[in-house]
Amino acid sequence: MLDSCPLVRSLGQLVEGGTPFIWLPGKLPYLGCNSQSVQIVAQTTKIEVADRVGDHVPIFAEIMQFNDASYGLAAAVAEPDAAADPVPEIRGDHADADSE
């Protein structure tokens, strides 16, 4: 289509079609020929599994919680308002935030 456009492949579609995709820190990523071409050994307590896949993209939900020490105050304010509502929990997965 475009002379300067690189070839683009949907990794999510490749993986769902049976082609493993591996990318380790400090290494170039690679594709396996099929699921039998790659063997992965991992401790389940030391890996983070995606919560779901949407449109061929893995989605990892994160929970962030802020306390008094984690947000800045205006210079004129000495202390946070004790009567204010507690800071809400914010989820990193914004796609579900509207549905909750």
pTM above 0.85, yes or no: no
Q: Residue 11, Cα to own-chain centre: how many angstroms?
A: 15
User: Using 50, 70 and 90 to split pLDDT, how confident is the model at 100?
Assistant: very low
User: In angstroms, rounded to a whole number, what is the distance separating the alpha carbons of residues 31 and 39?
Assistant: 13
**Interior CA angle at 80 toward 76 and 81, to 5°?**
110
Residue-level pLDDT at 26: 95
Res 27: pLDDT: 94
Q: Chain-wide mean pLDDT for the chain?
A: 76
In this structure, the number of other CB atoms found within 10 A of the CB of residue 19 comes to: 17
Instruction: For residue 15, give the 3-state DSSP assignment.
Output: helix
Spatial distance between the Cα atoms of 32 and 12, rounded to a whole number of angstroms: 14
Q: Which residue has the higher pLDDT, 75 or 38?
A: 38
